[in-house]
Amino acid sequence: MKHDASTEGPIPVRPPNTLLREWTGPMTSDLVRSPGAFGLGQVPSRLKPDSVTTAVCGFCSTGCGLKLHLREGEAVNVTPDPAYPVNLGMACPKGWEVLAPLEATDRVTTPLLRNPASGKLEPVSWEQAMTAFVTRMRGVQERHGAHSIAYLSTGQICTEEMAYLGALFKFGMGGLHGDSNTRQCMATAHVAYKQSFGFDAPPYTYADFEESDVLVFVGANPCIAHPILWQRVLRNPHRPEIIVLDPRRTETAVNATLHLPLAPKSDLTLLYGIAAALIARGAVNQAFVEAHTEGYEAFAAFVANFTPEQACAAAELERTEFDRCVDLIARGKRVSFWWTMGVNQGHESTRTAQALINIALMTGNIGRPGTGANSITGQCNAMGSRLYANATSLLGGRDFAQPAHRARVAADLGIDPARVPDQSSWAYDQIIDGIDRGDIKGLWVIATNSSHSWIDGGRFDRILDKLDFLVVQDLYATTDTARRADLILPAAGWGEKEGTLINSERRIGRVKKVRRAPGVALSDFAIFRLVTAAWGCGSMFAEWNSPEAVFHVLKRLSAGQPCDMTGIRDYAHLDQSGGIQWPWPAAAGDALEQEPATERRLFSDGRFPTASGRARFLFDPPRAVAEPTDAEYPFVLMTGRGSSAQWHTNTRTGKSDILRRLYPAEAYVEIHPADAARLGIRPHAKVVVRTRRGSLEVNAFVTPTVREGQVFLPMHYDGVNRLTAPAFDPHSRQPSYKHCAAVLEARLNG
Ligand SMILES: Nc1nc2c(c(=O)[nH]1)N[C@H]1C(S)=C(S)[C@@H](COP(=O)(O)OP(=O)(O)OC[C@H]3O[C@@H](n4cnc5c(=O)[nH]c(N)nc54)[C@H](O)[C@@H]3O)O[C@H]1N2
Ligand SMILES: Nc1nc2c(c(=O)[nH]1)N[C@H]1C(S)=C(S)[C@@H](COP(=O)(O)OP(=O)(O)OC[C@H]3O[C@@H](n4cnc5c(=O)[nH]c(N)nc54)[C@H](O)[C@@H]3O)O[C@H]1N2
Ligand code: SF4
Ligand SMILES: [Mo]
């Protein structure tokens, strides 16, 4: 990678890599540097703005600050906020285009209820919609029991909204089972941190990208998925070594100083091998291990069995690559470890994340600038959902199973402790199984498009018919899931409502209402208020009458927890401070006000929120993948993000004319040139990707990005999850989207 020694000067533009991409136009870095050249941020002169406000972006967890340019109170344009400590005046294409999805012609503008006679969705009033909601959900509960209704929610609504939903459903409606797409995304990091550190606490701050001398990215492609975080890496003035562990030669891998193209899902063996080699060469920080951790001796004895030869064989790596990786980590003074979905989405993902945590702990790379075992989150409010959604964890990162935790939450909310369930919800996959068995008969889907995004999607679609009542709450009636609904509740989107989001570095930022939602669409918050009233549990939620009022409720619930935010005065305080990272306890408030607190990290005192105050080494022997390749299905199929202009199931990004020009219109599969030649697959020809569950016809993108025997499908196109295999990590129950066996067939006419 080319480096710019100064942090101020222009960031060097990487030469286009013709090997990596043959089809595309611009690389992400080009889009970030010269957005205007691609039409981003342009606005007709008749819409000249007359004032400005700020908010954080509503797509990814980077949480960039945006300036919203208003005309008569309505946003007419967006530019990146130079004063916000996250993005320092930069934005990726989605941020520039964040208003476009709001203007889409397929916005749902009124509640729609399926007419049983015609089978068609018909417009109804909110009153009729609420009557239908309550009558039918209650009917299901009367026929099948209180726990026969469930919800699937999201990391993409405001913290105040997700907390409201979780509290309403469990304490008000008497439901038990609710989970969210955070299960598909962050469940592994959540469980790994909780087990290792005692709390779900990503320790870092974005300044760490700039302060490391060695950065290790595992299963992460920030050039595409977190482009502004990658820009922060490029500002690092220490000429850092950048190690990327990814089977594919991604944009990020191309920019690394060392790319280890490990075999898919060989991470755990490789990381144990790296730990053993670090021990063998005396790279362990004994003082840190003795003072601040427990279980190291057992861990060291366990990894002693993983020789470099074994690790290299399992990961299909050269010994020289392995040795160089170990050497860089051993010699680094400030080494940071970053992971995303290549780790979290796997059959042994929790232990893999912990294998990284273990390496950070044993080398003492935590709690200091430029260090850490750092999970990057995905959605704009994935962190909010982990702490406050009241799904897996009780409000404030507590446990449903602990009587003291239940009593505390009940007291804080002024409700009967008996209303708080004494067990966690079923996980997403268990809710699906529950529907299949007939135990769940009513389902409420909020801000997630499960029909497209859930693993083994064919099965998901089949079992929807077993429901008595499916409610979908979304911006659009056209999503794969909404099309199947009995009732659609029209939601306002980002920019049409108030609240807060929590980004990857624990920074709480504001979103604001700068547009009017179309028709009678309402914010998710207002919809939950309507449901509360219609259900008849209004007295329980008397205090929850505005997003900011709920923010104060959540502050109270956070008191004394590692995520304490009692020192945040109000929404205005967030605006004034460029967002605020938790923890920000009231007790420390004055002191915190004094320090230039734009960047703060955790564990600088070496104390972890476990019972003993020590971090734990956790490990297990590696296991075989659920669906190995064989003669019939010889390819490993991986899936993930395709471009910086596409967001998940593309319901939002697909609505922007500009973004649509920045990604391929049709689905494609990345396949190695040698495999393509062997199978007679020509570049751009049609090819069928088949697995044991389904098949998909796509265009062949012949590229050495993938190794022989591997193929990659971007997740943004319809039908991708009809192929994926339902395997889950046993601790986090996160789906293993990045590994199944597939076969490719050239289309004769292709
Ligand atoms: N443009 C854009 N940005 C996004 C999103 C989006 O949809 N579009 N989504 C957001 C969300 S919710 C998330 S969770 C993040 C995801 O961000 P990332 O996790 O960075 O994105 P992915 O492409 O899913 O996966 C990362 C990499 O994992 C690699 N990988 C696959 N199998 C393995 C393996 O076995 N081991 C290792 N080490 N690597 C493997 C893949 O080749 C891929 O390059 O992105 C966020 N940002
Ligand atoms: N094969 C494969 N599948 C994957 C992954 C993968 O790597 N490979 N990654 C997984 C990951 S990490 C994730 S996070 C999931 C994401 O999967 P999904 O959550 O299903 O994807 P989105 O397209 O973001 O769906 C969000 C929905 O909410 C709607 N929406 C947006 N804003 C609002 C709002 O404010 N209110 C309401 N009510 N609705 C709103 C949008 O229109 C959209 O329909 O996909 C997972 N699926
Ligand atoms: S990097 Fe993420 S938060 Fe920043 S502008 Fe892009 S999508 Fe928005
Ligand atoms: Mo995600």
Residue-wise pLDDT tens digits, 414-452: 999 999 999 999 999 999 999 999 999 999 999 999 999
Average pLDDT over residues 708-728: 98
Least confident residue range of 113-117, 178-182, 453-457, 598-602: 598-602
Look at residues 194, 221, 162, 598 and name the one whose alpha carbon lies nearest to residue 382.
162
Please identify, by atom number, the ligand 3 atom nearest to the C-alpha of residue 96: 5
* Segment 171-189 mean pLDDT: 98
- For 512, phi and psi rounded to 5 degrees? -135, 160
pLDDT of 16 reads 35
Which domains are delineated in the chain?
112-185+381-564 (3.40.50.740), 203-375 (3.40.228.10), 635-746 (2.40.40.20)
Q: Is the CB of 641 under 6 A from ligand 3?
A: no
User: Which atom belonging to ligand 2 lies closest to the Cα atom of 157?
Assistant: 35
C-alpha 717 to ligand 1 mean position (Å) = 15
- Ligand 1 atom nearest to 264, measured from its CA: 35
Any ligand 1 atom below 6 A from CB of 367: no
- For residue 38, name the pLDDT band (cuts at 50, 70, 90): confident
DSSP string, 139-171: HHHHHH-GGGEEEEE-SSS-HHHHHHHHHIIII
The predicted pLDDT at position 591 comes to 64
Tell how far the Cα of 449 is from the centroid of ligand 2, in angstroms: 5
Report d(CA 9, CA 430) in Å as an integer.
52
Distance (Å) from CA 282 to ligand 1 centroid: 33
| pLDDT tens, position by position, 529-552 | 999 999 999 999 999 999 999 999
Q: How far is the CA of 318 from the centre of ligand 1 (A)?
A: 24
Cis check: omega of the bond before 583, within 30 degrees of 0? yes
The ligand placed nearest to the CA atom of residue 184 is 2
Of 743, 738, 745, 744, nearest to 263 by C-alpha is: 738
Name the residue of 60, 347, 729 to mutate for ligand 1: max ligand atoms within 8 A of Cβ: 60
Tell me what the mean pLDDT of segment 41-64 comes to: 91
Ligand 4 centroid, distance to 61 Cα (angstroms): 9
Look at the alpha carbons of 106, 112, 113, 119 in this order and tell me if their dihedral is positive or negative: negative
Rounded to whole angstroms, what are the CA distances from 215 to 117, 212, 228?
61, 6, 16
Ligand 3: centre distance to CA 91 (Å): 6
Q: What is the pLDDT of residues 212-226, one digit of tens each?
A: 999 999 999 999 999
Phi/psi of residue 401, nearest 5 degrees: -75, -15
pLDDT at residue 42, as a whole number: 80
Strand partners, 442: 149, 469
Instruction: Specify the residue with its C-alpha closest to ligand 3, atom 2.
Output: 60
Q: Are 356 and 218 within 8 A, CB to CB?
A: yes
User: CA-CA distance, 32 to 644, in Å (whole number)?
Assistant: 10
* Rg of the chain on CA atoms, in Å: 25
Query: Ligand 2 centre from 493 Cα, in Å?
Result: 13
Question: Percentage of the chain surpassing pLDDT 70?
Answer: 95
Q: Which of 32, 186, 246, 259 has most ligand 1 atoms within 8 Å of its beta carbon, as the pocket-test mutant?
A: 246
* Structure tokens given for 132: 């239908």
Specify the ligand 3 atom closest to the Cα of 59. 7
Residue 590 binned pLDDT confidence (cut-offs 50, 70, 90) = low
Residues 6+ apart with CB under 8 A from 609: 197, 198, 199, 201, 562
Question: Using CA positions, which residue lies closest to atom 17 of ligand 2?
Answer: 453
Q: How many CB atoms lie within 10 A of CB 533?
A: 13
- Mean of the pLDDT values across residues 44-48? 79
Q: State residue 593's pLDDT score.
A: 64
Query: According to the model, what pLDDT value does residue 28 have?
Result: 81
Q: Choose the residue to mutate in 29, 38, 62, 505 for probing ligand 3, maximizing ligand atoms within 8 Å of C-beta.
A: 62
The larger pLDDT score, comparing residue 183 to residue 596, is at 183
Alpha carbon distance, N-terminus to C-terminus of the chain: 38
Tens-place pLDDT, residues 641-653:
999 999 999 999 9
Residue 486, φ and ψ in degrees, nearest 5: -90, -30
CA–CA gap between residue 115 and residue 92 (Å, rounded):
43
**What percent of the chain is modeled with pLDDT above 90?**
91
Ligand 2 touching residue 734 (CB < 6 A): no
Handedness of CA 445, 446, 451, 456 (dihedral sign): negative
- Residue-level pLDDT at 285: 98
- Write the pLDDT tens digit of every residue in 490-503: 999 999 999 999 99
- Classify 556 as helix, strand or coil: helix
d(CA 329, CA 279): 12
Asked if residues 419 and 425 have their Cβ atoms less than 8 Å apart, the reply is: no
User: Is pLDDT above 60 for 747?
Assistant: yes
Which protein residue's CA is at the shortest distance from atom 5 of ligand 3? Answer: 95
Residue entry with tokens 């427990």: 294
Our answer on whether the CB atom of 340 is closer than 6 Å to any ligand 1 atom is yes
- Which of 87-101, 191-205, 586-600 is the least confident region? 586-600
Residue nearest to atom 6 of ligand 2 (CA): 640
Task: Please indicate whether residue 449, judged by its CB atom, sits closer than 6 Å to ligand 2.
Answer: yes
Residue with token string 């340019």: 69
pLDDT band at 587 (very low <50, low <70, confident <90, very high): confident
Average pLDDT rounded to a whole number, residues 86-99: 97
Ligand 1 within 6 A of CB of 60: yes
Output the pTM of the full model.
0.96
CB of 641 closer than 6 A to ligand 1? yes
SS3 content of the chain, % helix, strand, coil (to 5): 35, 20, 45
Per-residue model confidence (pLDDT) at position 22: 47
DSSP 62: T
**pLDDT tens readout for residues 325-373:** 999 999 999 999 999 999 999 999 999 999 999 999 999 999 999 999 9
Provide the mean pLDDT of the chain. 94
Closest residue to atom 29 of ligand 2, CA basis: 447
Q: Which residue has the higher pLDDT, 107 or 746?
A: 107
pLDDT at residue number 594: 57
Please give the sequence-ordered ranges of beta strands (E in DSSP) within 570-664, or none if there are none: 580-581, 615-616, 635-640
Q: Is 580 in the pocket of ligand 3 (CB under 6 A)?
A: no
Measured CA to CA, the distance from residue 384 to residue 499 in angstroms comes to 11
**Mind listing the pLDDT tens digit for each residue in 250-305?**
999 999 999 999 999 999 999 999 999 999 999 999 999 999 999 999 999 999 99
User: Which protein residues have a CB closer than 5 Å to ligand 4 (ion)?
Assistant: 185, 378
In this structure, the residue with its CA closest to atom 26 of ligand 2 is 448
Q: So what's the pLDDT on residue 604?
A: 95
Q: What is the pLDDT of residue 59?
A: 98
The mean pLDDT value for 677-700 works out to: 96
Calpha distance 596→593 (Å, rounded): 8
* Ligand 3 geometric centre to CA of 595 (Å): 27
Contact in structure between 162 and 153 (CB atoms under 8 Å): yes
